[in-house]
Amino acid sequence: MNSLTMQRRVAIALLLALTVGGFLILIDGHNPFAAYKVLFFESFLDYWGFSNTLVKASPMLLAGLAVIIPMRAGVFNIGGEGQIYIGGLFGAIFALALPDLPGVLGVPLIFLSAAIGGAFWAAIPAYLKAYRGTNEVIVTLLMNFIAIHIVSYAVAGPLLAEGAPYPYSDEVSEAYRLPILMPRSDAHAGIVIGLAMAIILYFWLRFMPSGFQLDLVGRNARAAAYAGVDEKKTIIRAMLIGGSLAGMAGAIEVIGLKYRLFHLFSDGYGYDGIVVAFLAALNPIVAPLTALFLAGLSAGAGTMQRAVGVDSSVIEVVEGLVVVFVAAALVAPRNVSKSFLKTLLSQGLNSRSEHSEKKEA
Amino acid sequence: MFDLVLLGDVLAGTARLGTPIAFAALGGVIAERGGLYNIGLEGQILAGALGAAAGSFATGSALIGLGCGVICGLISGLFLGYMSIRLRINQLVGGIALNLLLAGLTAFLSRQIFGAQAGGARVEGFTQIHVPLLSDIPVLGPSLFSQDPLFYLLIGMAILAWYWLMKTPKGLDLRAVGENPKAADLAGVPVFRMQYLAIAVSGALAALAGGHLVLSQVYVFAEGMSAGKGFIALAAIILGRWSPLGAVCAALFFGFCDAVQFKLQFTSPEVPYQLFLILPYLASLIALVLLATKASAPAGVGRPYDREHR
């Protein structure tokens, strides 16, 4: 399936999801066209609305890339949420421990520390997957909950700000705060970091041998082994990169938006990343668009409720339908050659363990 | 004496908090033994909860409410089955999509049904059944023999599921489908029919978890009231090593840890209660790494079966 028909399929799937959502809006007693007009106008064309969209799009984009890179090597990273939390924790600890560095030094080091935190959290499932054949989906899922509770402990205990009414840490110093892109709004420079990563990763996958190895392992682990690619190392590399990207999303939330570490500071961005990645058909350069789309939907949902009176839960339904329809469209059998994505979408989960079993036998 | 009271409290809490997780985990075991991941448990709990609340709200009968919830669970299970079996969408993506969809849809429908009033509409629920004599046993009595009917239903379902899966020919068929669908197909087992059956039952069991939340715990439907129980159930399946009775025990262990951390928050604030929140996940993780041999997880789980594929 070439990329044009794939994009057409995604577009049709999006339209279908919006149409079903439209019927729900109609049931709710409102005009779907008016509601959608408000939704998209407020999230993309209005100054304040667009700044909200950007604020949500930044972590979603990085979380999406954190799913895309491992997935290209055939590894399903459901652990973005936990990696965001540990990344945010590491970033916040660094920022609070060394509050007096100049910003040009401190901010990159905070990102580095957050990336290390996320990579560390991803290294555990990566090692278990590569060397023990343990299912990464379940391990990453379990580790999400552990990470959330670790952060909850940290902000209620060792990092708790003095006199805080509920669990949060001290503020990070002003020198470390990300610059604001749109004056008087919350839209911070996080989106620029996400965009830069998307571009770098696109070129890395496309033109660098180490990037190409990811696809090789993801498409056909046995062929990769014959070509001399170390499958285990490739899996671990992909997961470490994924974890560091999600960790950076955590840092963005801390030093870009909230300036503190909060209990439950990520609102499911790790899971949104899975949707971003699938809508982008695992292409990093498309991920900024799908992250913006998804962020716009969720930022506009509240406005739509206030302005038109349509229940914002309709938008959640639309998001779920988008995933269903897009996934169905991508694996639909008509005119489809055995494409990479199709294989991954339908069998990605266990193909790896199957290969390694064969090798052992 | 005080400690005994505390122990009794924790045990009662264990049964209350563990029951919904156990229903969902039981559902997950049935699906996975048939070769299908049910990542949509979380959404199906919500579907069951909404169905139960709406049914009980409309008729004033908790039993009819439970029936409505189960029907909602069956439908959502079949929908996931359609995505996984017929469309062969990756079962994780399908499950995540179902969770998103049902979280939104149940929130939307609950506002259509109950209106936007804060706190929602109170519905008729189950009352506790005190088993004569046994419920008078100190400590154990109130926690085991003064539970709501759904706790007893859970015990019955767990034994039934174990018997069906392990001791009947149909159960053997289902396990064969989960281990090696091709071989099962060649042996004349209707693979797809068995898988649809498993995923529908799985959805219905998850819906019972939702029914317990509404009809035995809070008597209202609240948006997102599943609060991650469907994901915890996935961990309980692993800790219970894909056995119906094991998964229920694991789920009750999760409930126990939750009950302990609730108590700790009040009685000993100096102990970090998060330790007990982390404990079950850590135990599952360690169980997965140390105990899980290749034989424990069904070999064919997660891989869509394609008759044409060699």
Task: Dump the DSSP string for B98-139.
Answer: HHHHHHHHHHHHHHHHH-S-TT------------TTGGGSTT
| Contact across the interface for B278 and A328, Cβ inside 8 Å | no
Q: Which residues pair with A168 in a beta bridge?
A: A262
According to the per-residue pLDDT averaged within each range, which of A299-308, A325-334, B40-49 is highest?
B40-49
Torsional sign, CA B271, A155, A274, A216: negative
Stretch B36-52: mean pLDDT: 94
Kindly state the average pLDDT of the residues B137-158: 80
Cβ within 8 Å, pair A320-B97 = yes
Angle formed by the axes of helices A80-97 and A47-72, to 10°?
110
* Chain A residues close to B91, C-beta within 8 Å: 349
Range of the domain at B270: 10-116+142-291
Provide, as residue numbers in chain A, all residues whose Cβ is less than 8 Å from the Cβ of B101: 316-317, 320-321, 323-324
State the Cα torsion A256-A258-A260-A262 to the nearest 10°: -130
- Give A357's contacts in chain B (Cβ within 8 Å): 294
Predicted local confidence at residue A348, as pLDDT: 47
Q: Which residue of A has its CA nearest to B101?
A: A320
Give the residue carrying structure tokens 């789980």.
B301
pLDDT > 50? residue B85: yes
How many interchain CB pairs under 8 A, A with B? 146
Question: Do the domain assignments include residue B300?
Answer: no
Percent of chain B with pLDDT over 90: 43
Is B3 a member of any domain? no
Q: CB of B232 within 8 A of CB of A141?
A: no
Residue B2 lies in a domain: no
Tokens (6 digits) for B105? 């849809």
C-alpha to C-alpha distance for A35 and A25, rounded to whole angstroms = 8
* Sole residue written with tokens 């790494």: B289
Residue B218 belongs to some domain of the structure: yes
pTM: 0.85
Q: Which pLDDT does position B232 carry in this prediction?
A: 87
DSSP string of A174-195? GGGSPPBSSTTSS-BTHHHHHH
Does A128 sit within 8 Å of B281, measured CB to CB? no
Shortest distance, CA B151 to any CA of chain A (angstroms) = 26
Shortest alpha-carbon distance between residue A30 and chain B (Å): 13
A143 contacts chain B (CB < 8 A):
yes
Which backbone phi and psi does A169 adopt, to 5 degrees?
-90, 180
**CB of B50 within 8 A of CB of B226?**
no
Q: In B29-91, where do the E strands start and end?
A: none
Q: Give the nearest chain B residue to A268 (CA atoms).
A: B100
Q: Quote the radius of gyration of chain A (alpha carbons, Å).
A: 21
Chain B residue numbers touching A318 (CB-CB < 8 A): 104
- Please check whether residue B307 lies inside any domain of the structure: no
Residue A359 predicted with pLDDT over 50: no
What's B285's domain CATH number? 1.10.3470
Alpha-carbon torsion (B140, B143, B149, B151), positive or negative:
negative
Structural domains of chain A in order of their starting residue, each with its CATH number: 3-360 (1.10.3470)
Q: Which pLDDT score is estimated for A196? A: 97
Distance between CA atoms of residues A330 and A50, nearest Å: 30
Judged by a CB distance cut-off of 8 A, whether residue A146 touches chain B is: yes
Q: Give how far B261 is from chain A: nearest CA, Å.
A: 12
How far is C-alpha B33 from the chain's CA centre?
15
Task: Tell me which residue of B174, B210, B235 sits closest to B36, measured CA to CA.
Answer: B174
The pLDDT mean for chain B works out to: 86
Q: Are B138 and B5 in contact (CB under 8 A)?
A: no
Instruction: Measure B300 CA to nearest chain A CA, in Å.
Output: 8
- Collapse the DSSP code of A158 into the 3-class scheme (helix H, G, I; strand E, B; otherwise coil) and give the result: coil
A220 inside 8 A of chain B by CB: no
Instruction: Please state, in angstroms and as integers, the Cα–Cα distance from residue B68 to each residue in A91, A295, B49, B50, B76, following that order.
Output: 48, 35, 9, 9, 12
Q: Cα–Cα distance between B268 and B67 in angstroms, integer?
A: 42
Distance in angstroms (rounded) separating the CA atoms of residues A174 and B192: 60
For residue A203, give how far its alpha carbon lies from the nearest alpha carbon of chain B (Å). Answer: 27
- Reported as a single tens digit per residue, the pLDDT across B60-77 is 888 999 999 999 999 999
Distance CA A212, CA A209 (A): 5
Rounded to two decimals, the ipTM of the complex is 0.82
- Compare all CA atoms of chain B with the CA of A322 and give the residue at the minimum distance: B97
Nearest CA in chain B to A142: B281
Closest to B205 in 3D by CA, of B84, B70, B108, B304: B70
The predicted structure's pLDDT at residue B173? 93
Tell me how crowded residue B112 is: count the other CB atoms within 10 A of its CB: 14
For residue A228, the model assigns a pLDDT of 86
The answer to whether residue A139 neighbours chain B at the CB level (below 8 Å) is yes
pLDDT of A21 above 70: yes
For the cut 60, the answer to whether the pLDDT of residue A212 exceeds it is yes
Q: Which pLDDT score is estimated for A218? A: 87
Chain B residues with CB under 8 Å of A130 CB are: none
Q: What would the mean pLDDT of B254-282 be, rounded to a whole number?
A: 83
Partner residue opposite B96 with nearest CB, options A27, A146, A274: A274
A:10-69 residues touching chain B, CB 8 A cutoff: 24, 27-28
Contact criterion met (CB below 8 Å) for B300 and B180: yes
| Distance of alpha carbon B209 from alpha carbon B224, whole angstroms | 13
d(C-alpha B149, C-alpha B131), whole Å = 11
- List beta partners, residue A262: A168
Q: Say if B24 falls within a structural domain.
A: yes
Domain count along chain B: 1
Name the token pair of B156: 């019955």
Check CB contact of A348 with chain B, cutoff 8 Å. yes
Q: Is A208 helix (H, G, I), strand (E, B) or coil?
A: coil
Residue B38 three-state SS: coil
Question: B56 in a domain, yes or no?
Answer: yes
pLDDT digits (tens, 9 = 90+) for B223-248: 888 888 998 898 889 888 889 999 99
Asked whether residue B124 is assigned to any structural domain, the reply reads no
CB contact under 8 A, B289 and A132: yes
Can you tell me whether residue B39 is helix, strand or coil?
coil
- Smallest Cβ–Cβ distance between B289 and the set A134, A156, A271 belongs to A134
- What is d(CA B207, CA B248) in angstroms, rounded to the nearest whole number? 16
